[in-house]
């Protein structure tokens, strides 16, 4: 599923992701960035994620700007 980073604390690794389909909020799971291209996240960044058994966001990867219809600025 795709979402947007609402908040992220690089010191603690705590953060919240908002799912785009229904605006539900999910806390980041411990190690949510392990094995991903991310070293940190920024507010408003689009990400793809899965939910773990505790309904926390995990397995983060780069989200698609194309899916959101980002306008072509050329």
The confidence score (pLDDT) of residue 71 equals: 43
Q: In whole angstroms, how large is the CA radius of gyration of the chain? A: 12
Domains and CATH numbers, the chain: 2-68 (2.40.50.140)
The confidence score (pLDDT) of residue 74 equals: 52
Q: What would the pLDDT profile of 1-58 be if each residue is shown by its tens digit?
A: 999 999 999 888 899 999 999 999 999 998 888 877 777 888 999 999 999 999 999 9
With beta carbons less than 8 A apart as the criterion, state whether 26 and 55 touch.
Answer: yes
The confidence score (pLDDT) of residue 69 equals: 44
pTM, whole model, 2 decimals?
0.78
With beta carbons less than 8 A apart as the criterion, state whether 27 and 51 touch.
Answer: no
């Amino acid at each position: 599923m795709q979402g947007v980073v609402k908040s992220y604390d690089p010191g603690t690794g705590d953060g919240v992701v908002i799912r785009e389909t229904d605006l539900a909020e999910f806390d980041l799971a411990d190690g949510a960035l392990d094995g991903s291209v991310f070293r940190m996240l920024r507010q408003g960044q689009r990400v793809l994620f899965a939910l773990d058994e505790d309904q926390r966001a995990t397995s983060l990867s780069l989200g698609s700007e194309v899916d959101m219809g980002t306008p072509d600025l050329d």
